[in-house]
Chain A
Amino acid sequence: MNINLTFLGQMVSFAILVWFTTKFIWPQLNAAIEERQKKVAEGLAAAERAHAELKDADAKVAVEIKQARQQAAEIIEKAQQQANQIVDKARVDAVAEAARLKVAAADEIVSMQQRAREELRGWVGRLAVQGAEKIVQREVDASAHKAMLDQLAAEI
């Protein structure tokens, strides 16, 4: 085997082939590779983002639930306070009413006593007059003895 120009020619054309490959074939392959890398990276980033978002949402939900619970507790407390107030007011009202009724009743009793006494006095006077009429057997001048009878009635 003789080594001659043949090998030189082949080396030159091989060099051109290598140049051609680096210039025209490798960039396309490289682009495909880089696109794949980008796609994977984007996918991973999207997953990460979704994960973070989920976490965020979870936290937000927790906060909101806490707030809602707090609000509910506040509402319940307020309602209880209100109920207590209502009950207290009702009690006070009832006590006042009872007192008022008692006073009214006492007043009435007093006035009824008065009336009964007055009536009784009248009756006593009249009975005394009738008794006296019967005793003296004649008509007593009522008006003449009224002062005396009134005094008698008052003494009863």
Chain B
Amino acid sequence: MASEPQGGLTEYITHHLHHNVVSLGDSSFMKLHLDSLVVSFVLGVLFCLWFWLKARKATSGVPSKGQALVELIVEFVDTQVKDTFHGDRRTVTPLALSIFMWVVFLNSMDLLPLDAPSWGVKAVAGAETAHHTFFRWVPTADINTTMGLALAVFFIVLGHGMKAKGALGFGKELMTAPFHADNLVVKIILVPFNFVLNVVEYLSKPVSLAMRLFGNMYGGELVFMLIAGLFASWLSFLPGVLFNTAWAIFHILIILLQAFIFMMLTIVYIATAREHH
């Protein structure tokens, strides 16, 4: 690999862009990305355990450092929700908190060394197995994960809209907003335009949510892979380490920012869905 860096890098990147796939059927749809699923599940459980333990031992007195950290995060999220969403926050803040923390955890996998999983597999099962084992451990660099998250948010937003206006009111608003008319005939003429516009608006929300997160994390991962190409020779080893570190440090910002944006947009969508036109 060191003798032909270009071909080696292409192979390297291609390899690292492979998911650990379990096929459930012949079609390309019937496949599971086991790596994304396992990593996101484990990290989700980790988040729940962490916060649950801290919440269980929470005191109203002087908090321990762990409790203070959890309180800081919860308060931060709650403040964001309070500023954007004016209503009953009892279900919205937990949702925003879960999204934020989970996405932060998932994104943070990007900071861990890219080749650590393959090193582990090699150490356990040998180089030959490692060559055929694929494992991408940044779930948010997988469009399936982000799309799943975004769709869940989409349905929650729809639920909020229907709860705030009733199923009928929600349906009526799909037909009559944003173009209003006083005349009944004009109203009926405007129905298809309104409906199409609303459907596009609603569908664009999860798509933009999912694509934004996926794009950022996928791009970040790809840059790590490209930088990894620098490790191919001793000459570029040191710059490689420097670039890798610099990108990782910069990536901390992206990780938090993308998680924050995902959370904020979710809140904004819910707030908009609850708004009457």
Enumerate chain A interface residues (CB-CB to B < 8 A): 1-14, 16-17, 20-21, 25, 29-30, 32-34, 36-37, 40-41, 44
Residue from the list A6, A16, A21, A40 in contact with B115, Cβ < 8 A:
A6
The 8 A-B pairs at the shortest CB distance, nearest first, are namely A13-B244, A10-B113, A9-B231, A7-B115, A13-B245, A6-B231, A16-B245, A33-B68
Cβ of B15 within 8 Å of any chain A Cβ, yes or no, is yes
- Given the contacts A3-B119, A32-B72, A25 and B113 also touching, CB distance less than 8 Å: no
**CB-nearest residue of chain B to A4:** B1
**CB-nearest residue of chain B to A21:** B252
**CB-nearest residue of chain A to B134:** A1
Q: Which of B125-133, B178-186, B266-274 sits within the interface?
A: B125-133
A interface majority secondary structure: helix
The 19 listed contacts between A and B (C-beta, < 8 Å) are A3-B127, A4-B1, A4-B231, A5-B237, A6-B115, A7-B113, A9-B241, A10-B116, A12-B241, A13-B242, A13-B248, A17-B248, A20-B249, A30-B65, A36-B71, A36-B72, A37-B65, A40-B62, A44-B62
Enumerate chain B interface residues (CB-CB to A < 8 A): 1-2, 12, 15, 61-63, 65, 68-69, 71-72, 111-116, 118-119, 121-122, 127, 130-131, 133, 228, 230-232, 234, 237, 240-242, 244-245, 248-249, 252
Q: How many cross-chain pairs have Cβ atoms below 8 Å apart between A and B? A: 98
B interface majority secondary structure: helix
Q: Bound state CA distance, A1 and B120, in angstroms?
A: 12
**A29 contacts B69, CB within 8 Å?**
yes
Chain A residue contacts of B62, Cβ below 8 A: 37, 40-41, 44
Residue from the list A6, A7, A8, A14 in contact with B111, Cβ < 8 A:
A14
**A9 contacts B230, CB within 8 Å?**
yes
Q: Bound state CA distance, A32 and B76, in angstroms?
A: 12
**A4 contacts B2, CB within 8 Å?**
yes
**B69 contacts A5, CB within 8 Å?**
no
